[in-house]
Amino acid sequence: MDEENINNEKTNDKLETTSESIQIADDVVAIIAGKAVSEINGVAGMSGGFAGGITEVLSGKKNMSKGIKVDTEGKATKIDVNIIVEYGVRIPDVAFEIQNRVKKAVEAMTGLEVLSVNVHVQGVKTTEEKEETEEEK
């Protein structure tokens, strides 16, 4: 009978440890998504707000969560990605690639279910803009 009690106690311990929850901040999910987006050809940059640009200037670091909004409820999340595409790329292909890579990366690293990845194209970066920024440097 002692063995049965020990087994029951072990089972109860396992239930208690698995009932504890791990909370992942939306900022962490946004950084994972931002890293996945930054590796995709055709994305010229992220479109963030005024505050995101100021943060980059003051810190001197690239903000990986710039242009990404995450809404997590329980174990499911919705992600909005605001991008600027390079001129000449096929936008639906770039958007599809973003959706796939962000979903895979977030689900693999966090265990959250990604319900949707919405891609919002905020602008197009032309070659003229690239040349102007290179001349300014």
Domains recognised in the chain with CATH numbers: 23-136 (3.30.70.1350)
Q: What is the pLDDT of residue 17?
A: 38
Write 22-25 long-range contacts (CB < 8 A, 24+): 24/72, 24/110, 24/112
Distance between CA atoms of 116 and 131, rounded to whole angstroms?
36
The HSE-up count of residue 121 (CA atoms within 13 Å, CB side) is 18
pLDDT of 47-85, one tens digit each?
875 544 444 555 555 678 889 999 999 899 999 999 999
